[in-house]
Amino acid sequence: MGRPCDNVELFVDGELLPDAAESFRQHLPDCEQCQHELSTLMELKYLGKEALNALEDTSDEAQRTPPLQPFWTRPGMMMAASFTAGLLVMVAVVQFLPRDTAQPAP
């Protein structure tokens, strides 16, 4: 099985068999290296859970708030664009209508 110091990660993850876990618990008070590694791994495990919770909170918030639409797809802008297009068509039609260019007779 190796040295008890090789089992720190397995102990933190709860993957040691009960006898090996008890043996590691007996070893832990006497080994500064294992104590330091245990606290580091526990902190990493906690930070990982916090990061996952933050991601879940962010994804929940993203699902609650509707995405922003580009300004040109908003209803008010579509109406303004339609009105402007209609005016341009009217100006073009008036511009290209035949004009009465007949000169009055002298």
Average pLDDT, consecutive stretches of 10 residues, N- to C-terminus, the chain (106 residues): 81 90 91 92 91 79 66 74 86 79 66
Provide the residue ranges of all domains of the chain, joining segments of one domain with +: 4-65, 72-96
pLDDT of residue 36: 92
Q: Which residue in this structure is represented by tokens 């916090």? A: 50
Distance separating alpha carbons of residues 10 and 12, to the nearest angstrom: 6
pLDDT of residue 6: 86
Of 27, 53, 49, 51, residue with least CA distance to 38:
27
Cβ contacts of 21 within 8 Å, gap of 6 or more: 11
